[in-house]
Amino acid sequence: MKNKIKYMLPAMLFLFAGCQDEPEHYVLETPEDTMHLSVSAEEITLNADKENEEAVSFTWNEAANRGAGAKLTYWFKMDIADNNFETSIAKMEIPAGVKTIGFTHKELNDMLMEWNIEAGRTIRLQTEVIAEVSNTNKYMKPEISTTELNVTGYAIGPNVGNIWLTGSATSAGWQTPFSLKMTESATTIGIFTWEGNLTVGELKFPLSATQGYECDYLMPKNVDGNNLAPLSATAMKYVAYRTEDMPDHKWQVLEGQSGKYIITVDTRKMTVKFDKQSAPVIPDDLPYKKIWLTGDATPAGWTYPFYLEMTYDMSAVKGAFVWEGPLTAGELKFPLDNADNNWNHDYLMPKNVGSDNLATLSETNVEFVANGGPDKKWKVSTIEAGNYKISMNVISMTIKFEKQ
């Protein structure tokens, strides 16, 4: 009998232990909606002329009492309907005692743009108020109330198809037809970007490349007495071409601001952003660390000092410099110095030339020429004119002209 008890005790202990390890499951009840969230209008067409007026308001009742000492905190959310609030606006805490929230025409229109909703398109929105419970000795599910509405937004800026850059701050200068075209986003409506070098000078954004200077523009909205705005001025305005009293507002790149930029234009919000990029780290052991372009084939022409500078390409093999921009019929070469106001600099020139000291763009070999002589240059023919990417490697002493 003692042996039976001896063997039964471990089994009973295991049985009790197994029973104790089984988790207890609780089902939290979803509170009934007593707040009854309501909207001032279920169909709203936003109006730019009323941008600062209230377009819609939401109201709700007090949430149900959740017991002695329980504290209720109200939150508001809004998103495209049937999106499970995955792209909701940031959850907004409602001040104590307030049971309403409203939005202006501009605020609601800005939300539609953040969701990438086309102007004029009607979209179904879903809103919810959440009454979170705290200060209790156990977790309690929040009370939630939802409602929906249809909203139609408006366009802020013009219906822009293409945007170019022009100005003395760009690699194309004031040359027409305009050749520095911005790239339109494939995913976000109204977003255009351009990446490249800006130098000391001025610039603005033409909306046509085929009308010379007689075209519509995007210009800075706020300027100084000289009709200039700093690169920090983000607000733009649309200026339609007219023969009289047409403003000529421009952004200004100041001394010390030259460099590589990513420019982002948003034609729906009518804003521009100039993001200066970190300067590339040029290795100390390169034979040449600064290279410019000059010549009547370039936007700068034969002007001095040189302002078309090549950029060191950290993404390419060591020693690579690049420049992108338009080339016209003419000649060009690559100065290595920009210090003195004369042409007797050291240059990088074509190695193999004809009797006229000119090489075609197919000549890929480069050589160093001291003090500017003999004066050898590359020649761009009329049929070859266009936008180019020029890649030069100062270690292999090679160059490549790629027509874009």
Residues sharing a CB contact under 8 Å with residue 2, sequence separation 6 or more, in sequence order: none
* CA distance from start to end of the chain: 98
Predicted pLDDT of residue 137: 85
- What does DSSP say about strands 271-276 and 259-266: parallel, antiparallel, or unpaired? antiparallel
Q: Select from 219, 224, 217, 228 the least CA-distant residue to 272.
A: 219
Q: What angle do CA 77, 126, 40 make, to 5 degrees?
A: 90
Predicted pLDDT of residue 340: 67
* Number of separate domains in the chain: 3
pLDDT digits (tens, 9 = 90+) for 358-369: 999 999 999 999
Shared domain for 256 and 315, answered yes or no, is no
Predicted pLDDT of residue 72: 95
Assigned domain for 282 exists? no
Q: Select from 158, 92, 155, 160 the least CA-distant residue to 127.
A: 92
CB contact at 8 A, 349 and 394: no
Predicted pLDDT of residue 7: 45
Predicted pLDDT of residue 4: 44
Q: Which two tokens stand for residue 321?
A: 């410099």
Shared domain for 313 and 388, answered yes or no, is yes
H/E element, 7: helix 2-21
Q: CATH no. for residue 55?
A: 2.60.40
Predicted pLDDT of residue 1: 47
Q: What is the mean pLDDT of each run of 10 residues along the chain (404 residues)?
A: 46 48 66 96 93 96 91 96 95 96 94 88 96 90 96 83 92 83 86 90 92 91 96 94 90 93 92 91 92 90 82 92 91 88 87 96 96 94 93 97 92
Other Cβ atoms less than 10 A from the Cβ of 151: the count is 24
Host domain of residue 180: 164-276
Shared domain for 306 and 354, answered yes or no, is yes
Q: Give the max Cα distance, the chain.
A: 121
Please tell me the distance from the alpha carbon of residue 220 to that of residue 236, in angstroms, as a whole number. 5
Shared domain for 116 and 183, answered yes or no, is no
Please tell me the distance from the alpha carbon of residue 295 to that of residue 325, in angstroms, as a whole number. 13
**Tokens 């709700």, located at residue:** 60
Predicted pLDDT of residue 94: 96
Predicted pLDDT of residue 58: 98
